[in-house]
């Protein structure tokens, strides 16, 4: 027998386990089958006991408790408390399953463990980031100065504005004595008056680009303003790479007393790669004159074709380590949003899909509406299954008609009921009230009133 497996329970728990096992209709019927002997065919068993047929040789009884090998068969009334003990360390689904297999067992134990782990509020808050998505590159411009990208950076307390033509990679760098929205708009307006009006400009969501002065500039000049996802610089990786490169050049030049403008000239005159000419030659159609001997060549159509091939190769290289694209979200769907500063996930509700790629407008518990990329949003799992109802139905199965048994066979899933569990985020009132699709008011915690992502 398997008396060693019961030693880990205290005497009180052993008595409770025996009593609940005797009260459980399904386990009581199973004990009778074990004592009287198993039939020759599984079809001779009652339907609610057929799940035990596959491992019938492992079942045994000791002191009123049923064992499956070294595992104790837990009655339905005790599974909830056992689940809480199994997940007390907040391990993942597989780790919790492995721990359970060492000591306990009940029908559909793995499913119940998965629901417990996915609905755990602590695990949801501190879960890992979403996996890397396939690269979604911006469309390659068809001509110079059609699409610009801009950003600000700081070196030794001095602020610089970097603006780059996305077709030619031609950089323009200016030191800014003030970084107001008006100053940035005036500087880029000077570029536009010199080189012509671009179709679009890509920036981050800094106040310099979201201020009223910059908005007025883009409106007057008819320039489409595209912003990257907040806290997600990868969505505008082009300008981020150029900031990293130009910032390094500025640091070295200033430290050793070099000429910054001459350094920028050499950058603009350096070929992009072995098949693409310099940024200056791409934007002007000719090489620029430097302190070195040079020759000029007319622009070629294959440059654009090679740019597209280069982008395709970059996407292919990126996608080797990425997974499939995350599924789209629907308005009203409950999600969690990543707080990049804290590295934690917090509840929100999808309001609508943003016009920007892979971006959504979501509403936080304090009523603020923010925009986040899909990679920073995770679908919130809400348990809609009442385990006790399913177990009661299984216990009553022997008393049902054959017709009802057939219906139950064709509908294996558990009856869904609205979730009424109140999380820690819903215990305090914070106007304005937010309701779920079922009409329940969500009470927001006061500690998130200053939560501004």
pLDDT in tens, the chain (453 residues): 444 445 466 778 888 888 998 898 999 999 999 988 999 899 988 998 999 999 999 999 888 889 898 889 999 999 998 999 888 889 989 999 999 988 899 999 999 999 989 899 888 888 888 887 787 777 889 999 999 999 999 999 999 999 999 999 999 999 999 999 999 999 999 999 999 999 999 999 999 999 999 999 999 999 999 998 887 777 778 888 999 999 999 999 988 888 999 999 999 999 999 899 999 989 988 888 888 876 656 557 788 888 889 989 988 888 888 888 899 999 999 999 999 888 899 999 999 999 999 999 999 999 999 999 999 999 987 655 444 444 455 555 555 544 444 444 444 433 343 444 444 444 444 456 666 766 676 776 666 555 554
Residues 202 and 265 in one domain: yes
* Edge-to-edge strand ranges of the sheet holding 59-62: 59-62, 65-68, 71-73, 104-105
Whether the pTM exceeds 0.85: the reply is: no
61 in helix, strand or coil?
Answer: strand
Any domain includes 86: yes
- The answer to whether residues 56 and 38 touch, using CB atoms and an 8 Å cutoff, is yes
Q: Has residue 157 been placed in a domain? A: yes
Q: Are residues 98 and 197 in the same domain?
A: no
Least Cα distance to 404 among 414, 394, 417 occurs for 394
Q: What CATH number did the domain enclosing 118 receive?
A: 1.10.340.70
- Classified as helix, coil or strand, 169 is coil
Name the residue range of residue 368's domain: 333-378
Grouping H, G, I as helix, E, B as strand and the rest as coil, residue 119 is coil
Cβ atoms of 148 and 202 within 8 Å: the answer is yes
In a domain, 43, yes or no: yes
Query: Does 418 map to a domain?
Result: no
The answer to whether residues 160 and 212 belong to one domain is yes
Whether residue 276 sits in one domain with residue 151: yes
* Integer Cα distance of 339 and 410 in angstroms: 44
Is residue 173 classed exposed, middle or buried when 0-12, 13-18 and 19+ CB atoms within 10 A define those classes? buried
Q: Of 378, 413, 439, which closes a domain?
A: 378
Q: Which segments of 170-236 does DSSP mark as H helices, in order?
A: 181-195, 207-210, 212-221
Sign of the C-alpha dihedral computed for residues 94, 97, 102 and 107 taken in this order: negative
Neighbours of 421 (CB within 10 A): 9
Q: Which two tokens stand for residue 125?
A: 């808050």
The residue from 284, 304, 324 where one domain ends is 284
Same domain, 68 and 167: no
- Give the total number of structural domains in the chain: 3
Q: Is 399 within the bounds of a domain?
A: no
């Amino acid at each position: 027998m398997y008396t060693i497996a019961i030693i880990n329970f205290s005497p009180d728990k052993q008595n409770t386990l025996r009593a609940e096992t005797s009260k459980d209709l399904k386990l009581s019927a199973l004990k009778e089958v074990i004592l009287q002997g198993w039939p020759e065919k599984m079809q001779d068993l009652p339907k609610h006991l057929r799940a035990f047929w596959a491992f019938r040789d492992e079942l045994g009884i000791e002191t009123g408790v049923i064992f499956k090998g070294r595992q104790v068969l837990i009655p339905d009334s005790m599974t909830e408390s056992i689940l809480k003990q199994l997940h007390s360390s907040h391990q993942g689904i597989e780790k919790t399953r492995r721990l359970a297999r060492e000591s306990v067992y009940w029908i559909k134990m793995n499913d119940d463990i998965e629901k417990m782990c996915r609905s755990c509020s602590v695990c949801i808050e501190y879960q890992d980031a979403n996996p890397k998505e396939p690269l979604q590159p911006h469309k390659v411009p068809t001509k110079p100065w059609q699409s610009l990208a801009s950003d600000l950076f700081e070196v030794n307390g001095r602020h610089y504005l970097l603006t780059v033509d996305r077709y030619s990679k031609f950089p323009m760098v200016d030191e800014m004595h003030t970084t107001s929205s008006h100053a940035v708009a005036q500087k880029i307006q000077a570029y536009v008056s010199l080189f012509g009006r671009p179709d679009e400009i890509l920036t981050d969501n800094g106040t310099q680009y979201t201020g009223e002065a910059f908005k007025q500039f883009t409106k007057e000049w008819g320039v489409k303003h595209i912003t990257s996802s907040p806290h997600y610089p990868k969505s505008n990786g082009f300008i981020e790479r150029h900031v990293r490169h130009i910032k390094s050049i500025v640091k070295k030049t200033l430290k050793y007393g070099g000429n910054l403008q001459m350094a920028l000239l050499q950058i603009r005159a350096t070929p992009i790669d072995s098949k693409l000419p310099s940024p200056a030659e791409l934007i002007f159609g000719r090489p620029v004159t430097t302190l070195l001997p040079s020759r000029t060549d007319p622009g070629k159509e294959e440059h654009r074709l090679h740019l597209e091939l280069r982008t395709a190769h970059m996407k292919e290289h990126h996608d080797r380590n990425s997974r499939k694209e995350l599924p789209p979200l629907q308005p009203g769907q409950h999600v969690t949003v990543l707080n990049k500063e804290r590295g934690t996930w917090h509840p929100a509700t999808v309001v609508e899909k943003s016009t920007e790629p892979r971006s959504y407008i979501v509403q936080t518990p304090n009523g603020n509406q923010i925009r986040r990329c899909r990679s920073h949003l995770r679908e919130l799992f809400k348990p809609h299954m009442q385990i006790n109802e399913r177990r009661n139905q299984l216990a009553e199965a022997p008393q049902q008609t054959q017709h009802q048994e057939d219906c139950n066979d064709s509908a294996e899933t558990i009856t869904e009921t609205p979730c009424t569990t109140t999380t820690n985020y819903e215990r305090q009132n914070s106007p304005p009230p937010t309701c779920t699709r079922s009409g329940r008011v969500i009470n927001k915690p006061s500690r998130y009133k200053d939560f501004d992502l």
